[in-house]
Amino acid sequence: QQQQQQQQPQKGASGGKARAAAAAASGGMARSSVKKEGHNDARVIYVTSEDTNKEFKFKGNSISTGKYNPLTFFPKGLYEQFRRVANQYFLSVGIISLFESISPIKPYTIWSPLVLVVGLSMAKEAVEDYERHRQDHQQNISMTERFNGTSMSACEWREVVSGDLVRVVRDQSFPADIVLLASSLEDSVCYVETKNLDGETNLKIKRGVEGMDKVGTGGAAALKAMTAERSCYVECENPNNSLYTFTGNLDVSGAFNSDSVSVGGGKSASASAGGGATKISLVPSNVLLRGSCLRNTEWVIGIAIYTGHDSKVMMNSSAAPSKRSTIERGMDRIVFGMLCLLGLMSTATACVCGLWIKNTSPRVWYLDTAAADMVFDPTATVTVGFVSFLTSYVLYGYLIPISLYVSLEFVKVIQAMVFLNLDRQMYHAETDTPMRARTSNLNEELGMVHTVLSDKTGTLTCNSMEFFKCSIAGTSYGEGVTEIERSIAKRGGKPLPASAPAASSAAIEPGFNFKDVRLEGTKWMSLPDAEAVRDFFRVLAVCHTVIPEGEATPETICYQAESPDESAFVVAAKRFGYFFKRRTTSGVDVVEPVFEPGGGGGAMRTKEVHYEVLNILEFNSTRKRMSAIVRTPEGKIELYCKGADSIIYERLAYGVQKYTDHTQVHMDDYASSGLRTLCLAKRELSEAQYAEWNKTYTAAAQSLEKRDEKIEATAEIIEKELILLGATAIEDKLQDGVPQCIEQLMRAGIAVWVLTGDKQDTAINIGQACSLLRDDMELVVVNINDLVKQESDREITREEFDRLGRASVKKQLEEGSAKCDVADTADIDVGLVIDGRSLSFALEPDLARIFLSLGSGCTSVVCCRVSPLQKALVTGLVKDSGRITLAIGDGANDVGMIQAAHIGVGISGQEGMQAVMASDFAFAQFRFLERLLLVHGRYSYKRIARMVTYFFYKNLAFGLTLFLYNLHTRASGQVVYNDLLMSSYNVFLVCLPVLALGCLDQDVNQRSSLQFPSLYRQGQTNECFRLRVQLGWAANAVYVGCMSFFVVFYLIHGGEADSSDGHCFGLWEVGTTLYTGIVITVNLQMAQMINYWTWVHHVTIWGSVAIWFVLNISQSNLYGFLSTYSYMIFQPTVMPTAKYWMSIPLVVFMGLLPDLLNRGFRRLFVPEEHFAVQEFERMGRGKRKGSIGGGRGGGGGGDDRG
């Protein structure tokens, strides 16, 4: 909506008369009454080359987008890291570990992994922030020119201040937000590329302030006059983030009052009777925004008004909404649960220790606890219990996986940067557009989507518009059959009309695919309604904001348009003989045929004429129309209007229309063929009517407060009593692969909602063409067309319409829900179609629940005639129901929907890059969504879910052995493992295999993921991360920890001799046996989980086991102060002992057996779908006699959840 406002070439600005009147109306306001910067509503910038504006304390032009600076990096970075609960816990443990009387382990065993994890995260932050600072510095030292009081001199961007006169040359970017005064082109216009702002590469036209062209041609004298002591100033709104709006005035009353420098090269400047003040209204088309680039113009001069962080682009640089995946939120709950478990275990240990010290220790005379310090003082039981709690709090810290967050971040980055971004099957060669994951936080969420909400134009369709048919004066013109009609006929097995061509022919010219001999050459002039036809063509040629480029001939000219529709209309006008040749400040030049009613069929004689454009009333999504008030070559003032049929029809003059019924029938026919329709109308105005209206319009344009609302209200006054001319029909072809993609998504259990601005018939037919609505579906249609017509015909009031409409929508929704229940019983899919007026009622709080219930029960939903706001509201409604939503769109009107959804996907299309810049993932074609979800999304979900559950499994199993041994020693705090080896557990011994799992594992291959889309349903129901699975992993960890401890301590080393010489293992030898069993069991548990073996898995699993033995050997041979309790333990004592090597397989086998039996039982007796697919793949590999083809994945036969 707002985008349109910036791009209008005259954006509410009028021609010479209107501008003069606007200036006159604003004169007389004394500068002494101007508010300064502190005022809430406006700021004042004096044009100067000195420090006149210093008192206002405007921000400088240097920018910094970094999060940190050298002073704040460590405090702020540490704060960011310790916002995580797990890091806070380990910090507290690290602090307690500094007190040797309390901590059972050395401080370095806690601080080393903590520093490593936090250091890696902060290093990543530092690298990213350095890059931001580097880019900022490059921008700050970019060169431009500013007036120094005598001439233009070169300066860096950071030296520019508000009020400076700045000159920018061709292909340079604007250093600040600048009010354009003059340019090298005629009428002080310039061309601007806003790719860095909104991603659009089409050029926008900007216009210099009316009457200020002498600034460019008057040399240093004119510039000195403007920068004289407070002689010229800009009064404008305070800095804000609206890129496409601006209100302000330029006061030059004190600048050009001498004969040597006149305003506007002789054009009269408006002056008030009171004081000769000259004030000129400023509009958005006068403002050049920082970040945009000057094109096709040699130079411009303007006033810097907003600098640095006050500029609009910088005020729009706020972070996108923070999105977290379902698994990440579930992971936080698990961490909290583990902390609670740690607290319970520590409390239990404290109670055991306190009671034993009080009741039992005095009888154990050899401990002499009576002489002990406070740690074991029998007379201070509470103190003993508290110290024991702190000791256990430190000791049981291995329950919390400190490396989980870093490991997850690493895996997600690999998934996004390597597997997603480098997937050639999602690369679009025609536009050279690869897949882009703009965030890695939501990879696994892609595997859990319930509902896809999609825009239509540019998302399902190509957004490559072609003028295909039209209705003029009640007669339909145009031949051919659309692709939508062909697709519907093919799916229904119906024959095409006999006159239909064999295939949809290529466009005659880009944007034009119209054929009808009745409108060729001058034949249309012999038609009975030739004058209406001429006016129809004039509306196409004049009522637009297109910018012509290149040589001004019909064959070579290139049109830069805001949208493909606009371009198609201008190209159509050219093909019909009305060649839009040139745009000037005052209007447009058109080469058109000499109109000779009744004389059609002869050679076409043309003439170049000028249409003076008096006003442009711009299009936006609220108005749904655009108007141009022009003075025709015949001297008449006419209003040309084009817009949606519902908007135009309610503004038609009553009782004088000739073609409304026929035109409506034609538009319905066009809509049923999948064409986009637009109505064209005109109104002739008298000089008096226009002059009176223009006064109101000028006052609205001068207003600094609510200017847009006032202009819109003024437009409502003039845009009425219209005469209908006809309607256009534009074809927007479906993208390749859309029907197949939607069909696959629906087979995967994903509901597809299409939110479009099209009419109901158009939307239904396109839905049928792209497999969204099928013949075997039960279709529920909700609309209130009859009530809309009654309101339009003034048969009912607005209040009655609201009351009756609300009741009708509620009744239809309830009937639809009942029909949906019946269809569900009969296993029939249901489709819902609802129009925009009905949707406005359905989104009200009283009906939203019913609407959501009905929509949730449907396989597909089509919402017609929806606004961008309604798109976001519908998305939010579905999201709040708990269903994972994915919104996909290509235009600025889809940004709200994309940001409201759990996952936003942007299409790099014809409508710029705003949707892409607001998205989480981006690619070029809708069909890539199938692969994104069914392959990458499914893989990422299963990998991350299994990775997280495995992390807690391995830490719980290890932590329980510490807990059990601590209880075994009556909660004394004695550890059973070497400190250094304990700190290596999460970093070296069990971390690498889980990274390989998270990056590479596949339960089935990619081909099977697409061939069997129902596999995707596991993610929708969260099968791999639901509470039952988490508890299963916890139970397995408890079993492994308890079994390992009791088998090692009471079975293997139960007191008998451990070696042939009668030697018994001591604490550290037994601890080595226990640790070895845990390490190998946990790593081989990972081996049981793997479905897709690669050399990376072998290296990480067997390498981790090897690292364990290497660490023990090195610890055994290091000096005592380095190896501590491990000195001469493993190599000389444990390794030569046969009992050690014989016991380890027993511990490992017993640890893996329950999980192995569980997997086998489920595969044999309660198989899941992916088990069957794995068998299918195995059979296929057998038939290919060992050929690996595409079926390497899925060979392990493991269970994804296990």
SS (H, E, C) 476-516: EECCCCCHHHHHHHHHHCCCCCCCCCCCCCCCCECCECCCC
Cα 288 to Cα 290: distance, rounded to the nearest angstrom: 7
Q: Which among 401, 412, 463, 403 is positioned nearest to 440, based on CA atoms?
A: 412
Q: Distances in Å between the alpha carbon of 441 and those of 414, 691, 944?
A: 12, 59, 11
Looking at residue 144, its pLDDT comes to: 94
Cβ-contact 49, 161 below 8 angstroms: no
List, as one string, the DSSP characters of 84-128. Answer: SHHHHHHHHHHHHHT-TTT-SS-HHHHHHHHHHHHHHHHHHHHHH
Tokens 């719980």 label which residue? 956
Q: Catalytic: 423? A: no
Tokens 């057998």 label which residue? 1182
Residues 6+ apart with CB under 8 A from 473: 527, 529, 532, 533, 536, 658, 659, 725, 726
Residue spans of the chain under pLDDT 50: 1-40, 258-277, 498, 502-504, 1187-1202
Looking at residue 506, its pLDDT comes to: 58
Looking at residue 496, its pLDDT comes to: 61
Reading phi first (left if > 0) and then psi (alpha if -120 to 50, else beta), residue 923 is in beta
Looking at residue 1191, its pLDDT comes to: 44
List, as one string, the DSSP characters of 711-747. Answer: HHHHHHHHS-SBEEEEEEEEE-PBPTTHHHHHHHHHH
Residues 6+ apart with CB under 8 A from 513: 466, 467, 468, 480, 505, 506, 507, 731
**Nearest 5°: phi and psi at 556?**
-110, -15
Looking at residue 317, its pLDDT comes to: 65
For 620, other C-beta atoms within 10 Å of its C-beta total: 16
Looking at residue 35, its pLDDT comes to: 39
Cα 305 to Cα 468: distance, rounded to the nearest angstrom: 46
| Helix, strand counts (H, E) of the chain | 40, 33
Report the amino acid identity of residue 656. Answer: V
Two structure tokens written together for 416: 């996004």
Cα 838 to Cα 346: distance, rounded to the nearest angstrom: 60
Which DSSP helix (H) or strand (E) runs through 643? strand 637-643
Cβ-contact 780, 481 below 8 angstroms: no
Cβ-contact 430, 908 below 8 angstroms: no
* 962 half-sphere exposure, CB direction, 13 A CA radius: 26
Cβ-contact 725, 539 below 8 angstroms: yes
Q: Is the dihedral of CA 660, 662, 665, 670 positive or negative?
A: negative
The catalytic residue among 455, 708, 1058, 1200 is: 455
What is the per-residue burial (b if ≥16 Cβ within 10 Å, else e) of 697-730?
A: bbebbbbeeebbebbbebbeebbeebbbbbbbbb
Residues 6+ apart with CB under 8 A from 490: none
Cβ-contact 204, 211 below 8 angstroms: no
Tokens 């050029």 label which residue? 203
Cβ-contact 957, 1082 below 8 angstroms: yes
How are beta strands 436-437 and 248-251 bridged, if at all? unpaired
Dihedral, 906, 911, 914, 918 alpha carbons, nearest 10: -20
DSSP state of 419: I
Cα 610 to Cα 635: distance, rounded to the nearest angstrom: 10
Looking at residue 200, its pLDDT comes to: 61
pTM of the model: 0.76
Two structure tokens written together for 710: 């006032």
Cα 277 to Cα 271: distance, rounded to the nearest angstrom: 5
Burial label for 660, CB within 10 Å (0-12, 13-18, 19+), is middle
Beta bridge partner(s), residue 476:
471
Residues 6+ apart with CB under 8 A from 716: none
Q: Which among 54, 129, 68, 66 is positioned nearest to 307, based on CA atoms?
A: 54
Cα 626 to Cα 156: distance, rounded to the nearest angstrom: 42
Looking at residue 199, its pLDDT comes to: 57
Burial label for 1138, CB within 10 Å (0-12, 13-18, 19+), is exposed
3-state secondary structure of 473: coil
Q: How far apart are the first and last CA of the chain?
A: 51
Here the contacts of 119-123 (C-beta below 8 Å, separation 24 or greater) are: 120/406, 121/81, 121/405, 121/406, 121/409, 122/77, 122/78, 122/81
Two structure tokens written together for 490: 């093919």
Cα 17 to Cα 980: distance, rounded to the nearest angstrom: 86
**What confidence tens digit (pLDDT) does each residue in 1132-1163 have?**
889 989 999 999 999 999 999 999 999 999 99
Length of the chain: 1202
Cβ-contact 440, 413 below 8 angstroms: yes
3-state secondary structure of 832: strand
Cβ-contact 270, 156 below 8 angstroms: no
Instruction: Please write down the HEC assignment for all residues of 1164-1180.
Output: HHCCCHHHHHHHHHHHH
Dihedral, 1051, 1053, 1056, 1060 alpha carbons, nearest 10: 120
Tokens 């408006």 label which residue? 270
